[in-house]
Amino acid sequence: MLDKIKDFASTFFVTGDPLIYGADVSIALATIAIIFVLTYFKKWTWLWREWLTTVDHKRVGIMYIIASILMLFRGGVDALLMRTQLAMPDMEFLQPEHYNQIFTTHGVIMILFMAMPLMFGLFNIAVPLQIGARDVAFPFLNALSFWLFFFGAMLFNMSFVIGGSPDAGWLAYPPLSELSHSPGVGQNFYIWGIQISGIGSLMTGINFIVTILKMRAPGMKLMKMPMFSWSVLSSCIAIIFAFPILTVTLALLFLDRFMGAHFFTLDGGGNPMMYINLIWMWGHPEVYIVVLPAFGIFSEVVATFAKKKLFGYKSMVFAMMIISILSFFTWAHHFFTMGSGANVNAFFAITTMIIAIPTGVKVFNWLFTMYRGKIRFDTPMLWTIGFIPCFIVGGMTGVLLSVAPADFQFHNSYFLIAHFHQVLIGGVAFGYFAGLYYWWPKIFGFKLNEKLGKWAFWLWNIGFYVCFMPQYFLGLDGMTRRLSTYGWDSGWYGLNLTSTIGGFLMGIGFIFQVWQIAHSIKFMERDTTGDPWNGRTLEWSIPSPAPLYNFATIPTASVQDPWWEEKQRLEQGGKPAPKAKLEPIHMPKNSAIPFIKSLCWFIAGFGFVFGWMFFAIPGMIGVAVCMLAHSFNYDTDYYIPVDEIERTEAAARGSV
């Protein structure tokens, strides 16, 4: 019996690597510390009531942001492990199998479990406040979306210490991801972690489309809407068309692995290139899904810190909507080398070049907005300015990659690695950092320390260029991606060492950001105005942090930048608008069902990963029971009475 337990434990748990043992210890210590703190300070009830069961969009947004910062740490550690392995020729820091697992998990975590939740967190924080709404359209669905993401991410991350991580690359191309080449459970963790979180992403897309189209303040026509809300709308339109493709693709791959189907197995009559087409039909729109909201953030930040109305508002709107549509017609540029023929390659080369036009339009709009503006160089503006040259280089190298004959040279080389990090770090990460700094006072009621923020900015930027500029030359010199080692005779030593130094500089920049948050929590620079940046949109018209109900009375917004226009009117001697009569506010009640239902999905996913139907079936039954319970739950809302609104407003206005 003891031998059977030992055999099971040796296959169930990942063993044999000191790094894994270190992770086991850190996970155990962190878990014990969290349980101790919650128990010692008697916070279990508070945690359940205020956070685990909340449907408040602002708290959901905070949980998304916290999760994304943790995933940024995990994905960043993966990146530094890879750069350490490649710093010198013939390194044996990571074994080849472990290296494959790390670059697979790094890509998945950074795109799906860091960028996406940080994006959704900013959606939740800013969009309802910008459009003058008291909540999102479907608060219950919003909470369910977060918990599905969270448990999907946890399921994926468990593979690090249980069962083994996937190692077929972050897009899991067959045949590497089929049972023949990945017989372990790592690839199942990949499939079910992404599937569960992907359902939440699709729900979020639906939720915010309805919120934006149906819940805008009176007078706010679409063409008067803030640019960030426009970027969210364009991103969510792409989400609802792209993510079903991902869901179906991974479902087919799971059927190949679990039931012996042959959708993508060549020797069984399938076609692995069908998988690559399908995954990139999701994958390339996904790039624009995460970058479009960053464009919206830059638009808000530039207008605020240049103290000017955004230049070319209509062209920005059209550019974003055109990008969300064109993004579905460029996927084949990821495999020009497939052999589709000159006509197919020419079509996708042209569409890839065309999509650069609306992208370039936005850059010129931001530059013209700054022209002759009274620019303040606070940290949100620094990240925005830092983005522009970085994204221009990324865009130019993208155009080079869109030339099909040239791509035969660049394909699968470190030139490509440098390009997409240039776009995704310089565009997405810099954009979301700008948004996080910009809306931080509105979220938490205090500003982040500017001095530490500027240290973080410069370390990130310098480290970025030191890390990725050498990789363009490595690619042109013949270094292909996914290499875990190289020889002294390759001549790549100097550039790889330089790149590794840049990676660690970015890591130090992240440490400064964590220090900045901790320092700012201890020495809070309170936002006593509700409008610390002299903002232009409606979120800056209410106290910081925003009350539960956001707006005591629904504002009217018949012009672009309504809060800015109102401030200008008052400065010119206009009379304050008469206050509307307070009325009871209708709000949704908290619910435990999103958390419990997502936990059931986690249990079912864990069962499917190991083929344990005694786990999977009860988990799916739990999901069905939660759906049934919610269908018969009619006690879902309540009203905040006027006297409570008056007390809340008096307390908030007394401190702001």
Does pLDDT of 191 surpass 80?
A: yes
- Give CA–CA dist 530/463, Å, rounded: 35
Q: How far is CA 123 from the centre of its chain?
A: 10
SS (H, E, C) 297-311: HHHHHHHHHHCCCCC
Does pLDDT of 462 surpass 80?
A: yes
What is the mean pLDDT of the segment spanning 545-562?
93
Residue 341 included in any domain: yes
What is the mean pLDDT of the segment spanning 77-95?
95
What is the mean pLDDT of the segment spanning 512-537?
93
573 vs 257: which has the higher pLDDT: 257
Residue 513 included in any domain: yes
Q: Are 296 and 271 in contact (CB under 8 A)?
A: no
Residue 148 in tokens: 């599905």
Please choose, from the candidates 446, 460, 467, the residue with its C-alpha nearest in 3D space to the C-alpha of residue 511: 460
pLDDT of residue 332: 93
Q: Within a 10 A sphere around the Cβ of 262, how many other Cβ atoms?
A: 14
Please choose, from the candidates 48, 174, 44, 156, the residue with its C-alpha nearest in 3D space to the C-alpha of residue 105: 156
Q: Are 468 and 421 in contact (CB under 8 A)?
A: yes
Does pLDDT of 654 surpass 70?
A: no
Q: What's the structural domain count of the chain?
A: 1
Which amino acid is residue 104, in one-letter code? T
Between the CA atoms of 291, 295, 296 and 297, what dihedral angle is there, to the nearest 10 degrees? 100
Which amino acid is residue 451, in one-letter code? K
Does pLDDT of 275 surpass 50?
A: yes
Does pLDDT of 247 surpass 60?
A: yes
- Give CA–CA dist 469/466, Å, rounded: 6
| 231 CB-contact burial (10 Å; exposed 0-12 / middle 13-18 / buried 19+) | buried
Please choose, from the candidates 117, 185, 102, the residue with its C-alpha nearest in 3D space to the C-alpha of residue 150: 117
Average confidence score pLDDT of the chain? 94
Residue 426 in tokens: 């310089």
Query: How would residue 656 be classed by pLDDT, with cut points 50, 70 and 90?
Result: very low
pLDDT of residue 504: 98
Range 315-331 burial, b when 16+ CB lie within 10 A, else e: ebbebbbbbbebbbbbb
Residue 506 included in any domain: yes
Residue 21 included in any domain: no
Residue 489 included in any domain: yes
* Percent of the chain whose predicted confidence (pLDDT) is above 70: 99
Does pLDDT of 655 surpass 70?
A: no
Q: Are 385 and 324 in contact (CB under 8 A)?
A: no
- Give CA–CA dist 75/68, Å, rounded: 10
Range of weakest confidence among 8-17, 150-159, 489-498: 8-17
Range of weakest confidence among 17-21, 55-59, 278-282, 345-349: 17-21
Residue 73 included in any domain: yes
Residue 124 included in any domain: yes
pTM of the model: 0.97
pLDDT of residue 89: 96
Residue 503 included in any domain: yes
Q: Which domain holds residue 379?
A: 42-580
Residue 476 in tokens: 């042109």
pLDDT per residue as tens digits for the range 403-457? 999 999 899 999 999 999 999 999 999 999 999 999 999 999 999 999 999 999 9
- Give CA–CA dist 339/387, Å, rounded: 36
Q: Within a 10 A sphere around the Cβ of 389, how many other Cβ atoms?
A: 12
